[in-house]
Structure 1
Amino acid sequence: MRRTVASLALVSTAVLFSTLVAAPGARADLVTHCVGTGGAVTVPNDLFVPAGQSCALTGTTVTGNISVAAGANLVVTGGRFSGEVQVAADGYLDATDTTVGGGIELASGGYGVFLKNARSGAVTVRAKGSSTIDSFLYTERATIDGTVTAGAGEVRLDDTTQVTGNVSSTGTYYTDVHDSFVDGTLSVLNSATGSVVCGSAVRGRATFSGNLGGVQLGPNGSLDSCASGGYWGREVAISNTTGGVRVDDNIIDGQLTLTANNPVARVAANNRIRGGVVGDQAPPSAAKSAATLGKAAKAHDAGDSRAQERRTDAVQEAKAAGDAGLG
């Protein structure tokens, strides 16, 4: 785990009330506040988790939108949300076996979003800004109906995650795609520790540029463990990368373009590249020696340690707060 966070303080009392709130120029909507735990009931309006509080739901249906305030946590299993989910600074959303009808947005400085066996609309992680918290987006066996757009933190799409739109990241700590499918384009720009794509398929064009920690497409690289390469339906372009570029065991149904990478890219002989390779690459002998890089310490952790830590604390707090009285 790259970093740890302090545990949240235990919540000593449960708060539940409904109130009418109206934004300027908007109609008033009934909002249910959730602190504590909730079960298999239907909330027939918007749901709000107050600042610094925790809400843990099991089998709950929410017909409206959901807001997770600053420092708050929402942990849901088996839920059905009709609307969108907005997560504020230092807020956290953890969704398992859950459907979110709308999009998910993590605000600047948000703690993170973890989706497992979940389905949602487009997912957005806002840029970090001046916040001291660096966000994350982890997915496992998730389906995202729309785009993934990330401007900060750790991004890992894993374990048969499917994205129906484009995946675009700029200025993240890293952006990795493992054993997953992207139906649109993939763009990874200016990541601090680079990008790894393994065992995945990307239907559209792929662009990697300005990544400081390197780019690893397939196994035998220095950034992360991989079992296999991937399939690329269009062109792949890797440019202005420092820290090393490794392309191994891939099928590229287009051209591989390599520009201004330092050191020059290593392209293994086992790749099948329909459009050929354009640009500077290491000679074949050097490319073969890159297999030893797999023994190096991996810069990109697998797993969801940060999510697990926050999830555990949030559930404990919600249980301590008691029944949220949702119905």
Structure 2
Amino acid sequence: MPRRTVTKLATVSAVVAGSLLVVAPSAHADLVTHCVGTGGAVTVPNDLLVPAGKSCTLTGTTITGNVSVAAGANLVVVGGNVSGEVRVAADGYLDATDTTIGGQVVLAAGGYGAFLRDARTGAVTVRPKGSATIDSFLFVEGSTIAGNVVVGAGEVRLDRNTQVERNVNSTGTYYTDVHDSFVDGTLSVLNSSTGSVVCGSAVRGRATFAGNLGGVQLGPNGTLDSCASGGYWGRDVSISSTTGGVTVDDNIIDGQLALTANDPVAQVAANNRIRGGVTGDQAGATTTSRTARAAAAADREDAGEQRAQARRASAVQEAAAAGVARL
């Protein structure tokens, strides 16, 4: 099993300068503010742009328009408020903590990644990788996403009481994992190259897992990750055409569990409570060794929050060294 890591997340390539400009009118606001450096608790009365290859760190800033993070740029926002949407270009990075984004967040094809912690936003979209050399990531912790989450590339992890108020649709990602979180709509994970893990979470709508190469783990005692409990599923759960193994352990499914064309056949533990019964091929569950589970958990820990924190810390340090931007 390949390690679930973001191999490039620890490196920050942006060089931060200490200036900020107001330039020509845009289609969405009278002016566009260019941010390079650090900014504080002020209001930007128009759109904001982080220029290509630059970094912007904002604390307590209100932006009344939209935000664009250009190619290779970094935006770190703490305690901010964005009235509009945030769009991140190829090789760009967004890091938002304790921040409200009124519109959607869109990570372009080849975008570096997005990290949301204790934030609120509209829909979140990660474009398919395409021919880009960078495979993106979306890490979300303790946040509310008011719209759909649609991801088509990279590493995806929803964690720590994150709530998605509509649907989660994942196609062609490296992996898509949901831990200790809530999905009020449907969950669909298709064609993930290293599989999907759902632990300690609730999914109110139908759940579909199909064509995942690295396996599917619903609940503890699987080979992909270490977790303490299974989850609640409000409708039918379907797992099909999966290689790498399927484990279903300690779940409540208020519907039917359908298992089709999985190789090897799915392992379904006796401790699951499945209201509509199980259809398809299944086998009794086996217990994964504690060592294997611990190793899997360490992979995700390295891949997720620690690496994102390293990038954030580097960006903040460089922006601070550049001085205060004139917002």
Q: TM-score range by the shorter chain?
A: over 0.9
Alignment correspondent of 1:53: 54
Residue 188 of structure 1 corresponds to: 189
Seen in structure 2, the aligned counterparts of structure 1 residues 2 and 17 have a Cα distance that, compared at 3 Å, is closer
Q: 1:2–1:120: structure 2 CA closer, same or farther, 3 Å change rule?
A: closer
Gaps of 5+ in 1: none
- The DSSP-based 3-state class of the residue aligned with 1:188 is strand
Pairing 1:8–2:13 present: yes
Cα shift readout 1:103-142 (whole Å, capped 9, x = no counterpart): 0000001011111110000000000111111101001100
Q: What secondary structure, in the 3-state scheme, does the structure 2 residue paired with 1:29 have?
A: coil
Counterpart residue number, 1:298? 296
Q: TM-score, normalised by structure 2?
A: 0.94
Residue 28 to residue 116, structure 1, CA distance change in 2 (3 Å): closer
What SS class does the counterpart of residue 298 from structure 1 fall into?
A: helix
Q: How far apart are the structure 1 equivalents of 2:149 and 2:136?
A: 14
Residue 319 of structure 1 aligns to a residue whose secondary structure is helix
Specify the alignment match of 2:261 in structure 1.
260
CA offsets per residue over residues 240-288 of structure 1, 9 Å max, x none?
A: 0000000000000000000000000000000000000000001x3xx2x
Q: What displacement does 1:318 show?
A: 1.2
Deviation >2 Å, runs of 4+: 4-7, 26-29, 292-295
1-side partners of 2:78 and 2:45: how far apart?
Answer: 18
Report if aligned partners of 2:29, 2:65 keep a CA contact under 8 Å in 1. Answer: no
**Aligned residues with identical type, % of pairs:** 74
Shift of 1:27: 6.5
1:318 and 2:298 are equivalent in the alignment: no
Higher alpha-carbon deviation: 296-305 or 248-257:
296-305
**What secondary structure, in the 3-state scheme, does the structure 2 residue paired with 1:32 have?**
strand
Contact 2:32 2:49 in 1 (8 A): yes
Distance change in 2, residues 1:2/1:71 (3 Å): closer
The residue type equivalent to 2:287 in the other structure is A
Q: Deviations over 1:284-305 (max 9, x none)?
A: 3xx2xx2125532417613323
Question: Root-mean-square deviation (CA), in Å?
Answer: 1.4
Seen in structure 2, the aligned counterparts of structure 1 residues 270 and 317 have a Cα distance that, compared at 3 Å, is same
Post-superposition CA distance 1:120-166 (Å, at most 9, x none): 00000000111111101001100000100000000000000000000
Please give the secondary structure, in 2, of the residue aligned with 1:34. strand
- C-alpha distance in 1 between matches for 2:91 and 2:133: 10
Which residue pairs with 1:230 in the alignment? 231
| Structure 2: tracts of 5 or more residues without a match | none
The 5-angstrom pairing of residues 37-186 of structure 1 reads 37-186=38-187
Structure-2 change in CA distance of 1:160 and 1:244 (3 Å): same
Cα contact 1:147–1:164 (8 A) shared by 2:
yes
Contact 1:41 1:60 in 2 (8 A): yes
Q: Which amino acid aligns with 2:19?
A: V
Work out the CA distance in 2 between the residues paired with 1:250 and 1:256.
Answer: 11
Whole-angstrom distance in 1 between the partners of 2:14 and 2:230: 44
